[in-house]
Structure 1
Amino acid sequence: MYNRKYSWLKGIGRWMKYKYLLLIRARGGGAKVAKGFSIGLAIEMFTLPTMGLAFFLIFPLVYILRASFASALIGFVFGKIIYIPMSFLNGMVGGMMLPKRVHIHIPYVPEWINRFMMYNLKLIVGGIVDGIILGLIMYFPVKWMIDYVGHKRKEKRKTRRLHIHG
């Protein structure tokens, strides 16, 4: 008997498989998908300290670099997963990148707010640097994986065609 209780779950699975196939078959191949993933990952590394406003950088970057928007969103979500451990590295890198003489001092504000703003500045600077490096590092494995899966798919179709017509 048909079970309505779990039919929506099956629909989500089919939708995800469909979106996966669209990514694999994207025009521009693995390069387009990898560019999008790298953009999303890089932007996520400094989204939190900018209160989410950095997310809007995804749109023009995807358009200018002719990348895949769907894979940019996947990279953005992946970046959210690894952000907490990376935030410590982002803060350290930001501290090394900023000159020692840079301090934030807003008059008539408690000192803890000034320290909080300074740490956010370190997170932004470190996140930009780390995001660019992570994006460049992740570009090649994602590209190679997409190209590999596409090549295997073509080989499988070629073999199947030979068996049917052979």
Structure 2
Amino acid sequence: MWKKILRKLKYEYIKLIRMKGAPSFVARGFSVGIFIEFITLPTLGLAFLLLFPMTRLFRCSFPASLIGFVFGKIVLPIFMLVNLKVGTTIIGNPLQEHVQHNHESFAGWLQWMKQNGIAYFTGSMVMGVLVAFGSYFLVNATLQWYRKKRARRPVATGRTSS
């Protein structure tokens, strides 16, 4: 299973770095996809509908934003508690309530989400912006490096001289 996941990630990476367009165009698309994924969980998947309008607004690559959206699904679980902590710091809801009521029914969880949903959404927005900026610069630098490396390669003609 892990080999399959790593193979898929490698394939998405190769698709991203071989994508046509200016590095900033592709990197902007990737970062928009990451940002949209960060705000997806609190909105129960409705943020996916924002993907196309946001790529039009920021004039970026839609395929790169889809790759960023998929990649965000892998990265987001790492940031879930951080998002809630940042949101509670900004909004002011205590994080300890969830720890105390961790083993409640679905109704208890729903009540907790209703109380802390705004804090989580706020934290997701803040961390989404930070991760999107970081991913923009990372993808932009990677694309520039790859294209310089590829430009230095000798071009093979495919013919052999006899």
Task: Normalising by structure 2, report the TM-score.
Answer: 0.73
Q: Which of 8, 24, 47 is 1:54 aligned to?
A: 47
1:42 pairs with 2:35: yes
Counterpart in 1 of 2:26?
33
Q: How many pairs align?
A: 135
Residues 150 and 121 of structure 1: is their aligned pair in 2 closer, same or farther, counting only changes over 3 Å? same
- Give ranges in structure 2 of 5+ residues lacking alignment: 1-7, 94-106
Aligned to 2:121: 124
Following superposition, the deviation at residue 58 of structure 1 comes to 1.4
Q: Could you say which residue in structure 2 is the equivalent of 1:150?
A: 147
C-alpha distance in 1 between matches for 2:109 and 2:147: 53
Instruction: Show the counterpart of 1:5.
Output: none
User: Any idea what the Cα deviations from partners look like across 1:114-143, whole Å, max 9, x if unmatched?
Assistant: 322122222211101100010001111100
Larger Rg: 1
* Aligned-residue CA RMSD (Å): 2.6
Alpha-carbon distance, 1:66 to partner: 1.1
2:40 match: secondary structure = coil
Q: CA 1:25/1:75 → structure 2, altered by over 3 Å: closer, same or farther?
A: closer
In the alignment, structure 1 residue 84 sits paired with structure 2 residue 81: no
Counterpart-to-counterpart distance in 2, 1:97 and 1:79: 23
SS of 1:83's partner is helix
TM-score calculated relative to the size of structure 1: 0.71
CA contact 1:46–1:123 (8 Å) conserved in 2: no
